[in-house]
A and B are shown apart, each in its own frame.
Chain A
Amino acid sequence: MKKILNILPAVLVLVFVACNSNTEPAKTETPEATATAGQEAVKDDVSQKDVVKIAVGSKDHTTLVAALTQADYVKVLANAGPFTVFAPTNDAFNKLPAGTVEGLMKDDKKADLRNILEYHVAVGVYKTENMQDGQKINMVNLDDITLSIKDGKVMVNGSANVIATIPASNGIIYVVDAVLLPPAKKQ
């Protein structure tokens, strides 16, 4: 699983708890592969920042970063990509009905959270100059978003305005002022 790094300290605790209390702990992932903190932790102040580093460095995206961490999505976005990421600001998350974010951050809602985050990510670099009014983009969660363009300004799903464009080493970030919600699941 991708969470190995995150759970490493947890595993440690488990191990010692297990030894002290002499109980059989739940089976955990074998962390033998992860001797380092991962490529996203490699110290590099010279290279252009990737999507994750940009988000982490932004004070307006702490909710997004927390959500990505909770959904085990940080590693994915640190990979080669390329990605187009629509990045809602903290204000955008705050616009959601009260309790929504807190609800999604619960462990049993991880799949829902991930589905929403994956609805903000497309594989490929979609640049504004190539966007067309009415264009659909199939996002990582397999649902489409629809772009509208008015006076050179891009809006997603008729609700989220692109308020900034940030090129990243592994893609492009569009800062949006609303969270994109995937269409209800059709059965």
Chain B
Amino acid sequence: MKSLFKTFLLVALTASTFTWLQSCKPKGAQSAVSGDAASKVYVAPGKYDEFYNFVSGGFSGQMSVYGIPSGRLFRVIPVFSVDPEKGYGYSEETKAMLNTSHGFVPWDDLHHIALSETDGIQDGRWVFGNGNNTPRIARIDLKTFRTAEIIEIPNSAGNHSSPFITENSEYVVAGTRFSIPMDNSNGDVPINTYKQNFHGTVSFIGVDKTSGNMNIAFQILLPGVNFDLARAGKGKSHGWMFFSCYNSERANTLLEVNSTQKDKDFILCVNWKKAEEYAKAGKGKLQSVKYAHNIYDEQKQMASSAIENQVMMLDPKDCPDMVYFMPCPKSPHGCDTDPTGEYIVGSGKLAAVIPVFSFTKIQAAIAAKNYEGDYEGIPVLKYDAVLHGEVKKPGLGPLHTEFDDNGFAYTSFFVSSEVVKWNVKSLEVVDRVPTYYSVGHLSVPGGPTRKPWGKYLIAYNKITKDRYLPTGPELAQSAQLYDISGDKMKLILDFPTIGEPHYAEAIPASLIMKNSQKIYKIEENKNPYAALGDKFARVERKGNEIHVYMTAIRSHFTPDNIEGVKMGDMVYFHVTNLEQDWDVPHGFAVKGANNAELLIMPGETQTLAWKPEKPGVYPIYCTDFCSALHQEMQGYIRVSAAGSNVPISFSTGKTAPAVTTTTDKK
């Protein structure tokens, strides 16, 4: 029986039992191949995946890119944390990306993804991510898969409710998880004066249609609740944004008890078109704040960071008909709008119902002023007046809902560790599957948009201890892929993720791969430190700074012998990769560098700062395997004592024995 059981498990792993039951004929391995999970996720060598999956890296601060259905990891995009693999945050060109009003922040926490949209459909131009700890939003350019811009959010702490996007990418939003004293007030107040002194805000960050550049269009001053997640209206509800919030008790300690006292918290409905009008009409107040705005200039190949000083704050007191609260049971987390824009799904973490609100009813209730009262001066709509209906006892701990292209919703349940599929209109539960274990976010390709592509559902889980090989106290977290093309969800793959996966979006590969940049054209390289050809390679002294304008091409550096560096000098290696060939980066490392290495894309210039710690000869070499003579791609730097009279000299390929009195002239 035991071996039979094992055999069964083996087959069960790869075969649908139903198919097997029907046939019953083949005994053994052959039966494992028909209609099975393995073939559904098998992307043969030489083939591309059908979807990109952009997955938040959670506490790693990064974003990762997987192929679906294979689950293969293609790239980790450094966003809010330094990344030695790519030199991000180490090279002189990229350090400014991690600048904030608090200075250089090398590690943050990225939770949510928002792909840009046009007419409510994913357009594959940019992907946004939130910096949760030191509040920021990043924009990644999907031509280069690089972080192109990061904007800090003032009057915020814990930028969790972010960066959810409107259907024409007019705005990405940022709601505060922590309420705090506003930046322009005296923040040195007793914590137990929370109710008087602490406020929440939601920010609308405009996205330029062409460049993608972000600006904080306006913020809205709100009561001191915790904003959690958000989703834009779409179609008929375009122009509205919905934010879930908890802690309407406004507790400032032991929130696990004190913020769960009330039966209902809220979803905040923001009429952002109205807010836009108020902002234009000057109804807002300009507040003095400080926030960093960092942009990576593709031409100069260099990030710059500017500190901005003002933000427009809209106060609902001065701006009627702009914001409303909707009661939502028990500490709502997810707040998701269906593809039609009619239904808004609230998920109370501690609730055993899923309320589904109707946009039409919300509008009617607002028109009729059908309020149950107000919360800190903001009208609270009557629950029954705005409710489409409740999904009853669907599971324990509903968190997040995604949608397919057939009118179904998929909700994750953390506590009962399952995904439940239900009909958005009839609210009837039609299927449920377990996840392994403790599922958080879900992703259906196009799931948050007006046009879900459907086909797959990916669940992002925390616990894997019975399925992944142990790796010490921490195990890899996982994504699980379900085939949702039929009536029943079917688990077909399990793959590990980096950091901790929170929200993710998937998009057809065809929308992105055609735009993917192959090289940086050398003639467009405007980096002021570039050496656009071997003949421009040189070494210059500027006081205590040595600037090495170096080129790299298969398989040598120019120059590769450098002398004249003295103790006390700061040496800048500006390395230009002269290759004009896709996927031929060069690396650069110098022995003893306390900073890092470089990785330089074709046509690009990157700079490493190095302060030698003692006289001697230091090797340099290429760290990215570039050709059969990669191992020959190396050189030496001579460092002399501070008072030495060794002149600056540099060369490549100069084989004559050195005579100490001769120097190379520039």
Chain B neighbourhood of A35, CB < 8 A: 9, 12-13, 467
B254 at the interface (CB under 8 A from A): yes
| A124 and B256 contact, CB distance less than 8 A | yes
| A31 and B12 contact, CB distance less than 8 A | yes
| B350 and A123 contact, CB distance less than 8 A | yes
Taking the nearest CB of chain A, how far is it from the CB of B140, in angstroms? Answer: 31
| A30 and B18 contact, CB distance less than 8 A | yes
| A39 and B24 contact, CB distance less than 8 A | no
| A38 and B466 contact, CB distance less than 8 A | yes
B464-483: CB near A (< 8 Å → 1, else 0) gives 01110000000000000000
A140 at the interface (CB under 8 A from B): yes
- Supposing A80-B462, A138-B263 touch, asked if A30 and B415 sit within 8 A by C-beta, the answer is no
* Whole-angstrom CA separation of A79 from B462 in the bound complex: 10
| A1 and B417 contact, CB distance less than 8 A | no
Tell me which of B13, B350, B397, B437 contacts A32 (CB under 8 A): B13
B352 at the interface (CB under 8 A from A): yes
Chain A neighbourhood of B256, CB < 8 A: 82, 124-125
- Supposing A31-B17, A36-B467 touch, asked if A12 and B8 sit within 8 A by C-beta, the answer is yes
Residue of A nearest to B462 (CB): A80
Chain B neighbourhood of A141, CB < 8 A: 352
Chain A neighbourhood of B12, CB < 8 A: 30-32, 34-35
* Whole-angstrom CA separation of A35 from B8 in the bound complex: 10
Partner-contacting stretch, out of B289-297, B370-378, B428-436: B428-436
* Whole-angstrom CA separation of A35 from B434 in the bound complex: 13
* Whole-angstrom CA separation of A1 from B438 in the bound complex: 15
- Supposing A12-B4, A32-B14, A41-B466 touch, asked if A81 and B434 sit within 8 A by C-beta, the answer is no
Chain B neighbourhood of A4, CB < 8 A: 434
| B432 and A30 contact, CB distance less than 8 A | no
| A33 and B393 contact, CB distance less than 8 A | no
* Whole-angstrom CA separation of A27 from B436 in the bound complex: 23
Chain B neighbourhood of A138, CB < 8 A: 263, 330, 350
B463 at the interface (CB under 8 A from A): yes
* Whole-angstrom CA separation of A95 from B350 in the bound complex: 31
* Whole-angstrom CA separation of A2 from B644 in the bound complex: 76
Chain A neighbourhood of B466, CB < 8 A: 36-39, 41-42
- Supposing A35-B467, A76-B415, A80-B414 touch, asked if A11 and B352 sit within 8 A by C-beta, the answer is no
Taking the nearest CB of chain B, how far is it from the CB of A39, in angstroms? Answer: 5
Interface residues of A in 99-116 (CB under 8 A from B): none
| B15 and A81 contact, CB distance less than 8 A | no
B595 at the interface (CB under 8 A from A): no
Residue of B nearest to A141 (CB): B352
Interface size class of A (residues with CB under 8 A): 35 or more
Chain B neighbourhood of A126, CB < 8 A: 257
Taking the nearest CB of chain A, how far is it from the CB of B399, in angstroms? Answer: 12
A48 at the interface (CB under 8 A from B): no
A25 at the interface (CB under 8 A from B): yes
A6-30: CB near B (< 8 Å → 1, else 0) gives 0001011011001100001101101
B491 at the interface (CB under 8 A from A): yes
A181 at the interface (CB under 8 A from B): no
- Supposing A32-B15, A35-B12, A142-B352 touch, asked if A1 and B415 sit within 8 A by C-beta, the answer is no
A130 at the interface (CB under 8 A from B): yes
Residue of B nearest to A5 (CB): B434
- Supposing A12-B5, A80-B463, A123-B350 touch, asked if A32 and B416 sit within 8 A by C-beta, the answer is no
A53 at the interface (CB under 8 A from B): no
Chain A neighbourhood of B462, CB < 8 A: 80
B16 at the interface (CB under 8 A from A): yes
B538 at the interface (CB under 8 A from A): no
Pick the most buried of B12, B14, B490: most chain A CB atoms within 10 A of its CB. Answer: B12
- Supposing A31-B12, A39-B436, A141-B352 touch, asked if A18 and B21 sit within 8 A by C-beta, the answer is yes
- Supposing A32-B12, A39-B436, A39-B466 touch, asked if A123 and B491 sit within 8 A by C-beta, the answer is no
Pick the most buried of A4, A24, A32: most chain B CB atoms within 10 A of its CB. Answer: A32
* Whole-angstrom CA separation of A23 from B176 in the bound complex: 60
Interface residues of B in 401-422 (CB under 8 A from A): 414-418
* Whole-angstrom CA separation of A35 from B492 in the bound complex: 12
A75 at the interface (CB under 8 A from B): yes
Taking the nearest CB of chain B, how far is it from the CB of A8, in angstroms? Answer: 8
Beyond the given A9-B5, A32-B13, A124-B260, please list 4 additional residue pairs across the A-B interface where CB-CB is below 8 A.
Answer: A1-B434, A39-B465, A138-B263, A142-B352
Binding site for A on B (CB under 8 A): 4-5, 8-9, 12-18, 20-22, 24, 37, 254, 256-257, 260, 263, 330, 349-350, 352-353, 393, 396-397, 414-418, 432-434, 436-438, 462-463, 465-467, 488, 490-492
- 11 A-B residue pairings within 8 Å (CB atoms): A14-B21, A24-B21, A30-B488, A32-B16, A37-B466, A76-B417, A79-B463, A80-B437, A80-B462, A82-B256, A123-B415
